[in-house]
């Protein structure tokens, strides 16, 4: 099997594609891959480290206002489609898989023009611009949330989940909280606003420090490598100190392994975070980012809240009091935490990679 993968811009588009590739490799030793990304997205830093062949295209997004940049966007897109056609002819893939981002629009459009089977994957409950653009001519569409069905032709859309969930569910962790001077025998609240941190979550945690210092559970804030100095400066300015069971870290390398040792997670409501926490059945307090297209994180969070798998706090309502109240509700109430853990496991689709693989096999021409 020869598979061309394309997804770019954010980790939410890239990690599902890489998880899918790993699952295909487990099933087909002779599988070949080519990943096509952009020059601007983080895929240029992530994909080459896997050893997968990687090529790049120049693309950019549309401006919402009238702008001459949009003329350049169209020109770059058409040029990228032409270049992608050459890549496809050279590689001769059996299927082209797109996981979102502007670069996947050019790659899959080229494949559709060349009559190569295409599969798109939508990680969020609200479909992205690129996937909606590609849907009409896509061979098959895989979705991670039932709500996303409304954006695509029903007859070729399947609920498969996010392959990142299967990857995380199978992961074995030997992580210990003693690495950070904490205990493995205490309940732990893990607060993580993304790889770069989240200012609103950091500030709410800062306000909650006096209360957290008095709790009998541990608290770990991952503030972000570029934001931890500012956090510690504010802590000092406000005359606050951290107790022995409250830690502030810049970054954690293998977050899913650490998540396995957490009792409750505070996080954004991005597709990858939700795939990971539901794969683990981890109770969560979600703080959707209000700065994403289509407010899709709020809708992602609502899906979990409606299922009884998470609590949610809107960013305008997030402060020290609301954060502590939500944390106490789960860390000081074993029954509620257990119920939420069960619901989270039910929401998670831990065979998502297998489902994605089957979907791909169904479109490959014999």
Domain layout of the chain by residue ranges:
2-162+350-363, 177-347
Q: What's 225's DSSP letter?
A: T
pLDDT band at 269 (very low <50, low <70, confident <90, very high): very high
- Say yes or no to pLDDT of 65 above 80: no
Q: How many percent of the chain have pLDDT more than 90?
A: 84
Mean pLDDT, residues 305-311 taken together: 95
- Say yes or no to pLDDT of 285 above 90: yes
pTM: 0.87
Average pLDDT across the chain, whole number: 94
Mean pLDDT, residues 116-141 taken together: 95
- Cα gap 303→99, rounded to integer Å: 21
- Please say whether the dihedral angle defined by the alpha carbons of residues 355, 139, 24 and 22, taken in this order, is positive or negative: negative
Tell me the per-residue pLDDT of 318-358, one tens digit each, with 9 for 90 and over.
999 999 999 999 999 999 999 999 999 988 899 999 999 99
The pLDDT of residue 64 is 62
Tell me the per-residue pLDDT of 46-58, one tens digit each, with 9 for 90 and over.
999 999 999 999 9
Mean pLDDT, residues 287-314 taken together: 92
Residues 6+ apart with CB under 8 A from 253: none
Second CATH level (architecture) for the domain 2-162+350-363: 3-Layer(aba) Sandwich (3.40)
The pLDDT of residue 71 is 80
Annotated binding site: 10-12, 124, 195, 252, 297
- Say yes or no to pLDDT of 237 above 80: yes
- Cα gap 168→240, rounded to integer Å: 36
Annotated binding site for UDP-N-acetyl-alpha-D-glucosamine: 10-12, 124, 195, 252, 297
The angle formed by the CA atoms of residues 220, 223 and 227, to the nearest 5 degrees, is: 155
Q: How many percent of the chain have pLDDT more than 70?
A: 98
pLDDT band at 257 (very low <50, low <70, confident <90, very high): very high
- Domain 2-162+350-363 and domain 177-347, same fold? Reply is yes
The pLDDT of residue 234 is 97
The pLDDT of residue 250 is 94
- Cα gap 73→37, rounded to integer Å: 16
Neighbours of 245 (CB within 10 A): 19
Mean pLDDT, residues 79-91 taken together: 97
The pLDDT of residue 32 is 98
Maximum alpha-carbon separation in the chain: 69
Cβ-contact 129, 236 below 8 angstroms: no
Mean pLDDT, residues 150-154 taken together: 96
Topology (CATH level 3) of domain 177-347: Rossmann fold (3.40.50)
- Please say whether the dihedral angle defined by the alpha carbons of residues 270, 272, 275 and 280, taken in this order, is positive or negative: negative
Residues 6+ apart with CB under 8 A from 317: none
Mean pLDDT, residues 80-96 taken together: 98
- Say yes or no to pLDDT of 66 above 70: no
Structure tokens at 97: 């898989």
Q: What's 293's DSSP letter?
A: G
């Amino acid at each position: 099997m020869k598979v061309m993968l394309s997804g770019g811009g954010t980790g939410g588009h890239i990690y599902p594609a890489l998880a899918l590739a790993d699952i295909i490799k487990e099933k087909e030793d002779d599988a070949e891959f080519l990943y096509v990304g952009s020059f601007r997205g983080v895929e240029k830093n992530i994909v080459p480290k896997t050893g997968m062949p990687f090529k790049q295209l120049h693309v950019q997004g549309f401006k919402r206002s009238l702008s001459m940049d949009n003329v350049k966007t169209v020109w770059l897109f058409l040029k990228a489609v032409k270049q992608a056609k050459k890549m496809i002819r050279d590689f001769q893939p059996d299927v082209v898989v797109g996981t979102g981002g502007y670069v996947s629009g050019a790659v899959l459009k080229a494949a559709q023009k060349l009559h190569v089977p295409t599969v798109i994957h939508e990680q969020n409950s609200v479909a992205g611009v690129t996937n909606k653009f590609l849907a009409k001519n896509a061979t098959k569409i895989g979705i991670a949330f039932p709500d996303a069905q409304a954006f695509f032709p029903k007859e070729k859309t399947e609920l498969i989940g996010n392959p990142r969930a299967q990857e995380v569910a199978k992961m074995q962790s030997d992580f210990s909280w003693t690495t950070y001077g904490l205990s493995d025998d205490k309940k732990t609240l893990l607060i993580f606003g993304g790889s770069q941190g989240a200012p609103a979550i950091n500030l709410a945690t800062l306000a909650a420090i006096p209360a957290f210092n008095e709790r009998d559970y541990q608290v770990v804030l991952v503030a972000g490598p570029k934001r931890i100095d500012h956090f510690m400066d504010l802590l000092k300015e406000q005359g606050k100190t951290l107790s022995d069971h409250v830690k502030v870290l810049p970054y954690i390398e293998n977050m899913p392994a650490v998540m396995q040792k957490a009792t409750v997670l505070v996080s954004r409501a991005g597709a990858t975070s939700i795939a990971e926490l539901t794969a683990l059945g981890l109770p969560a307090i979600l703080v959707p980012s209000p700065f994403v297209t289509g407010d899709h994180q709020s809708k992602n969070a609502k899906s979990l809240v409606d299922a009884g798998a998470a609590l949610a706090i809107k960013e305008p309502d997030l402060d020290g009091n609301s954060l502590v109240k939500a944390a106490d509700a789960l860390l000081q109430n074993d029954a509620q935490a257990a119920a939420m853990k069960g619901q989270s496991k039910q929401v998670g689709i831990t065979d998502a990679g297998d489902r994605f693989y089957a979907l791909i096999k169904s479109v490959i021409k014999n």
